[in-house]
């Protein structure tokens, strides 16, 4: 459960970088996000080592890819580095999600996209304090992508919930996790995401970034709940 969640977070951070228009945001933003993905993957490797004294080669390769991307940011090979990191991350995620079934795999991919766009958008909001004169187009694009993947996540969760949840009474614990998943992971972020979009339209990045902090907290709780439900056989 923790492995899938952390891998989705790290890989999503890298995938969401493809949304940024080339040359508009300074390379140190991409470098920062590459380091963040690397740290998350190293934490995952460390937890695996502490638990079983083994290292997953897929996670190690993804961490190496994130580090290589960080080294190449600001050079002509930055796109190559991001492509390599993205592919290695995708392979890592596929390896960890093996056995989840087709819809479970789709759920994990969407989880990575939700986590990545939320975190990247929040950090990008801060970048307007660092890079003066930065166009609002990158934040607009990231916000629209966040709303799109949250909408897709909600539709998938509703469909899979109707198919996979037991017809009888749910246990109190499972009901609590589903409520956390629905309210904090789907409905709440969608509503807040619309507020972010309204702030971005009037070029109020400070307000947008503040709301994105809350979105990130909600999404982290919601997607961790989703990882627990996936492990329990309910890919929501």
Domain ranges of the chain: 2-231
Task: Please determine, for residue 131, whether its predicted confidence score (pLDDT) is greater than 60.
Answer: yes
Task: Determine the Cα–Cα distance for residues 93 and 87; give it in Å rounded to an integer.
Answer: 10
> How far, CA to CA in Å, does 211 sit from each of 13, 32, 125, 129?
19, 21, 10, 16
pLDDT at 170: 67
What architecture is the 2-231 domain classified under in CATH? Up-down Bundle (1.20)
Q: Sorting pLDDT into bands at 50, 70 and 90, what band is 21? A: confident
Task: Please determine, for residue 102, whether its predicted confidence score (pLDDT) is greater than 60.
Answer: yes
Q: Sorting pLDDT into bands at 50, 70 and 90, what band is 160? A: confident
* pTM, to two decimals: 0.93
**Residue 148: which residues within 8 A CB-CB, separation 6 or more?**
none
Neighbouring CB atoms inside 10 A of 134's CB total 18
How confident is the prediction for the chain on average, in pLDDT? 90
pLDDT, tens only, 44-55: 999 988 988 888
| Dihedral (CA of 187, 189, 192, 197) sign | negative
Neighbouring CB atoms inside 10 A of 169's CB total 8
């Amino acid at each position: 459960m923790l492995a899938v969640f952390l891998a989705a977070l790290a890989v999503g951070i890298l995938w969401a970088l493809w949304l940024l228009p080339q040359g508009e945001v300074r390379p140190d933003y991409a470098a920062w996000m590459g380091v963040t993905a690397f740290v998350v993957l190293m934490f995952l490797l460390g937890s695996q080592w502490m638990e079983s004294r083994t290292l997953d080669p897929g996670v190690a390769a993804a961490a190496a890819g994130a580090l290589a991307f960080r080294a190449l940011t600001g050079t002509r090979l930055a796109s190559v580095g991001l492509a390599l990191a993205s592919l290695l991350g995708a392979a890592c995620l596929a390896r960890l999600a093996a056995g989840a079934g087709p819809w479970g795999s789709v759920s994990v991919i969407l989880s990575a996209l939700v986590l990545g766009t939320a975190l990247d958008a929040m950090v990008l909001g801060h970048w307007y304090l660092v890079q003066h004169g930065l166009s609002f187009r990158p934040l607009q694009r990231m916000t629209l992508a966040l709303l799109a993947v949250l909408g897709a996540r909600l539709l998938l969760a509703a469909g899979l919930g109707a198919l996979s949840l037991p017809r009888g009474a749910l246990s109190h614990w499972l009901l609590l996790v589903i409520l956390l998943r629905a309210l904090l992971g789907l409905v709440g972020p969608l509503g807040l995401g619309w507020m972010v979009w309204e702030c971005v339209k009037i070029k109020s990045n400070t307000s947008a970034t503040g709301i994105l902090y809350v979105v990130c907290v909600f999404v982290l709780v919601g997607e961790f709940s989703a990882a627990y439900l996936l492990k329990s056989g309910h890919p929501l």
